[in-house]
Each structure stands twice: as structure tokens, then as C-alpha cells.
């Protein structure tokens, strides 16, 4: 994903724009010595920095303001970025509707910021701070306190686990698979009952189970352990089970041009067992067949018999 790294000059300029918007919203006191006092609340954590910058900009405009420690005591909410508006909705429904401003509002500047990961200077103290902050926001959104003892380190642990769970994005089969010359072997090669774990792209919930992968070699072969490795590369991404099957057979076909390849997956999906219809024993079976496996009933039946033994 493309990044947009905002500098301190960028965020100071944006804070001034927010301050001017607040000033324009308070024209009823224009010309009076005692202007209305804005009480700001910065949404943790990025919004705290944003609120400090906006507070300073208001002072430069000669407008009195204070920063509150509790959201219910403020008359303005300040955040660093508005993505979908979920945080705005959460604060307005929890603490009451108040003006809500952010240094970056993707809803208003959607064409420019769409698909970009926004980073602020205070986030770049560590490379993972932006994603970590978003996990904190999710914890807060579901109604828990990210600062309580059991959750303080959770955002960092989640990001570390993501590096494993979604490690397939940085890998390609052609970069890690070594191909060998075939020594006149023309029978199918099958590796069955390969355990795999993946994540459904629709709800970001796990699905897991067993895979059966096969191919009939032509001029080239690959190590049998590498069949499981190909599966692992594609499973460690946001997936749907049907596409995962196809990606495995496409990789095998592209790497060694066999007479045929097959991938059959049997999996349980948390989006069916832990939410929604909640059917605990449901198994989803999908397959991708190419070449001889797709065109020959005899070859396909032989594969099924091997898997069932």
C-alpha cells in the first residue's frame, strides 16, 4: 500500500486550518474581548498530538482554549485522521454529539488519500506505531480500555502475529522453489493431509483444515515438501478458499508445466462457526483441477481413491 508521510510542517499547517474552521464557527463572539473558550479532547493516541497542535494554532489566533482529560468534558473532539468515520460515530453516540475535527479527513479528500496509509511524525518513532495505534483504536471501538493492564501490550502482539499470519504477501513461489529434471517418472505425485491455516478476507476470521495436492510430472519435478510451501505462501494472505485452490495449481503449472495438477481443500471457517449461522461441524470442500485431473475421469478417480485411503 502506498504511504503518505506527513511532515511536521504538513501537520502544523493542517492544525492551523482546523483552528481557522473553529474560529469561523464562533463568529457570534467576533470583536468581543472575551471570546468563547474551546475545550478540546484529543482522541487517544494520535488525536492527543493533533489536539496539542490545534490548541497551539488557536492560541496564535488569539482564541482561548483548554485541553480536557475526559471526552464528556470537551465541546470539540480532535483526531489525527478520519478513515471511515467509525471513531466519530463511536464518540458521538457514547459521549454526545460535538464538533469533530481531524488533521486528515479521508472522506473529504478521498481521491487523493484513497488507498494510502497515512503516517504522522509522532507515529514514525517506531516503524510499527501506525498499525499498533489502529489496533488500539479497534480495542477502544469494541468497548474496552486499551490502557488496562491486560491490554497494554496487546496491540504490539497483534502486529507481531500479523507478520506471521500474513507473511505470504512478501513471497513468491518462483523465488523459493527449486525445480529438478524428471527421471522418466510419469505417475501422479500426491501429498495429502497437509495442515493449513488461512484468514477469510470477508470477516478477517480464520479458516483452517487439510489440503491434498497432486501433480503428474512432465519434464520437471519439485521437492514434495515444496508443495506444502506453495500452499503456505498463498494461505498466509487474506483469502477465500476457492481462490487459494486455484493459486496453488496455477503456481505448480507455471513452475513445472506438468500434465495436470490438483488442489483439494477441506476447511472449517470461523465465520460459520463463531458468528453468523454458527454451525460448528460444517466443512467446506473446494477443488482446483487442471490438465489430466480435469479432463480424465479415470485420473480424477485415482486421485480421490488415494486421498480416501
- Are 92 and 75 in contact by the 8 Å Cβ rule? The answer is no
Task: State the catalytic residue, choosing from 241, 247, 250, 263.
Answer: 241
Task: State the catalytic residue, choosing from 60, 64, 89, 202.
Answer: 202
Q: Give the C-alpha separation, 242 to 215, whole Å.
A: 18
Task: State the catalytic residue, choosing from 59, 201, 219, 242.
Answer: 201
Task: State the catalytic residue, choosing from 90, 171, 203, 266.
Answer: 203
Catalytic site includes residue 203: yes
Beta-bridge mates of residue 178? none
What element of type H or E holds 167? none
- Percent helix, strand, coil in the chain, to 5, is 45, 25, 30
Q: Give the C-alpha separation, 79 to 278, whole Å.
A: 37
Catalytic site includes residue 241: yes
Catalytic site includes residue 64: no
- Are 276 and 309 in contact by the 8 Å Cβ rule? The answer is no
Catalytic site includes residue 212: no
Q: Give the C-alpha separation, 121 to 21, whole Å.
A: 23
Distance of CA 169 to the CA centre of its chain: 12
Task: State the catalytic residue, choosing from 23, 133, 200, 247.
Answer: 200
- Are 78 and 114 in contact by the 8 Å Cβ rule? The answer is no
Query: Which DSSP state fits 93?
Result: H
289 burial class (0-12, 13-18, 19+ CB within 10 angstroms)? buried
Evaluated on CA atoms 54, 59, 62, 63, the torsion sign reads positive
Q: Which of 9, 45, 29 is nearest to 146 (CA)?
A: 45
Catalytic site includes residue 59: no
Catalytic site includes residue 201: yes
Catalytic site includes residue 271: yes
Task: State the catalytic residue, choosing from 123, 212, 247, 269.
Answer: 269
Beta-bridge mates of residue 102? 79
Buried b (16+ CB within 10 A) or exposed e, 55-80: bebbeeeebebebeeebeebebbbbb
Query: Which residues have a catalytic role annotated?
Result: 200-203, 241, 269, 271
Amino acid at each position: 500500500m502506498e504511504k503518505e508521510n506527513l511532515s511536521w510542517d504538513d501537520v502544523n499547517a493542517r492544525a492551523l486550518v482546523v483552528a481557522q474552521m473553529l474560529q469561523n464557527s464562533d463568529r457570534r463572539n467576533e470583536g468581543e474581548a472575551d471570546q468563547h473558550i474551546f475545550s478540546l479532547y484529543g482522541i487517544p493516541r494520535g488525536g492527543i498530538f493533533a489536539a496539542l497542535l490545534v490548541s497551539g494554532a488557536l492560541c496564535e489566533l488569539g482564541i482561548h482554549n483548554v485541553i480536557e482529560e475526559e471526552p464528556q468534558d470537551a465541546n470539540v473532539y480532535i483526531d489525527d485522521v478520519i478513515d471511515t468515520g467509525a471513531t466519530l460515530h463511536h464518540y458521538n453516540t457514547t459521549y454526545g454529539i460535538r464538533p469533530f475535527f481531524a488533521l486528515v479527513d479521508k472522506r473529504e479528500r478521498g481521491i487523493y488519500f484513497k488507498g494510502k496509509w497515512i503516517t504522522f511524525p509522532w507515529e514514525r518513532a517506531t516503524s510499527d506505531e501506525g498499525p499498533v495505534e489502529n489496533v488500539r483504536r479497534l480495542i477502544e471501538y469494541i468497548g474496552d480500555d486499551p490502557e488496562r493492564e491486560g491490554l497494554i501490550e496487546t496491540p504490539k502482539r497483534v502486529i507481531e502475529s500479523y507478520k506471521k499470519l500474513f507473511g505470504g504477501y512478501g513471497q513468491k513461489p518462483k523465488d523459493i522453489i527449486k525445480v529438478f529434471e524428471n527421471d522418466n517418472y510419469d505417475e501422479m505425485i500426491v501429498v495429502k493431509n497437509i495442515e493449513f491455516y488461512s484468514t477469510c478476507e470477508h470477516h478477517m476470521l480464520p479458516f483452517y483444515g487439510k489440503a491434498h495436492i497432486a501433480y503428474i510430472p512432465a519434464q520437471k519435478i519439485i521437492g514434495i515438501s515444496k508443495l506444502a510451501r506453495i500452499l503456505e505462501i498463498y494461505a498466509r494472505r487474506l483469502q477465500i478458499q476457492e481462490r487459494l485452490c486455484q493459486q496453488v495449481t496455477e503456481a505448480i503449472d507455471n513452475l513445472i508445466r506438468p500434465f495436470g495438477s490438483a488442489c483439494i481443500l477441506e476447511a472449517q471457517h470461523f465465520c460459520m462457526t463463531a458468528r453468523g449461522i454458527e454451525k460448528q461441524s460444517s466443512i467446506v470442500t473446494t477443488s482446483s483441477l487442471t490438465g489430466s485431473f480435469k479432463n480424465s475421469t479415470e485420473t480424477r478417480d485415482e486421485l480421490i481413491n488415494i486421498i480416501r485411503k
